[in-house]
Amino acid sequence: MLKIYSILLFVGSAVCWAGASGPSHIDRPCDLDDHRCIGSVLASFSNCKQTLADRIQPEYRIKKFRFETPYFNTSYIDNDLIVRNHDTCSVAAFFINKKSKTAVLGIDCRDLYLETERTVIQHRSLQEDNVYHYHVKATYPLIRMTMNLPTSRSAHVCDLPVYTEVPVMPRFHVDPKDRPTAKALSTDDSLQLIFERENFFYRGYPFIRMFLDAHICNFGCPREIL
């Protein structure tokens, strides 16, 4: 374990060093707010079209969104989910490593607002689930999504992994729908980071794909987000 850790540390510091000296194999072809430029670069090595999908609305609704928090053995269903400020996400990183033939694209979303009637299904092996209900409003100061796209072959963004970070915990208000839910709600803040990371592991995919298709370059990813 220690060995792996020290190798990771070594790689980490090598990257920092390379970044500081501005190596020539790193290409930054566009200003980060120039979505047309970024879109045309993406289109040059992938299957996306510069005819964009419909713009994301400042507020939109999703009938149902499911996610899981494996750490807590729990499934969630967001009913009548309201999303605000998804349309104001912005590109926070875009560069191409010509050596590794990889494009790195980072999207930041600020003050992302989610409001929903949430069903919480807590699983127990060989037993009946516990089911809870609450209404929640949450504002996430920053959600940061990062994708690596190969530039050497047509990248199908809809299939690529997305890493989603929740660097700042949300401001939120939870309104339990019944007494059992009120009693079961955790007040342990140290668990919240785990919850939010697992939560946004699921949300990162639809959030970045919708944003790319509508604002940068249209990969035609399926819009159904369940």
Ligand X SMILES: *[C@@H]1O[C@H](CO)[C@@H](O)[C@H](O)[C@H]1NC(C)=O
Residues near ligand X (CB under 6 A): 71-73, 125
**3-class secondary-structure state, position 100:** coil
Distance, CA of 17 to CA of 40 (rounded, Å): 30
Distance, CA of 184 to CA of 168 (rounded, Å): 25
Report the first-to-last Cα separation within the chain, whole angstroms.
37
Return the number of the residue (168 or 185) whose C-beta is nearest ligand X: 185
For residue 124, the minimal CB distance to ligand X (Å) is 7
Return the number of the residue (2 or 126) whose C-beta is nearest ligand X: 126
Return the number of the residue (24 or 190) whose C-beta is nearest ligand X: 190
Return the number of the residue (24 or 127) whose C-beta is nearest ligand X: 127
Return the number of the residue (102 or 130) whose C-beta is nearest ligand X: 130
For residue 1, the minimal CB distance to ligand X (Å) is 22
Return the number of the residue (125 or 152) whose C-beta is nearest ligand X: 125
Note whether 119 and 79 are within 8 A (CB): yes
For residue 50, the minimal CB distance to ligand X (Å) is 46
Return the number of the residue (17 or 71) whose C-beta is nearest ligand X: 71
Distance, CA of 76 to CA of 117 (rounded, Å): 10
**3-class secondary-structure state, position 186:** coil
For residue 174, the minimal CB distance to ligand X (Å) is 18
For residue 163, the minimal CB distance to ligand X (Å) is 23
The phi-psi region of residue 80 (left if phi > 0; otherwise alpha if psi is between -120 and 50; otherwise beta) is: left
Q: What is the DSSP letter of 168?
A: S
Note whether 157 and 48 are within 8 A (CB): yes
**DSSP states of 28-62:** --S-TT-HHHHHHHHHHHBS-BSSPPPPPPSEEEE
For residue 175, the minimal CB distance to ligand X (Å) is 23
For residue 200, the minimal CB distance to ligand X (Å) is 18
Residue nearest to ligand X (CB): 73
Distance, CA of 115 to CA of 201 (rounded, Å): 18
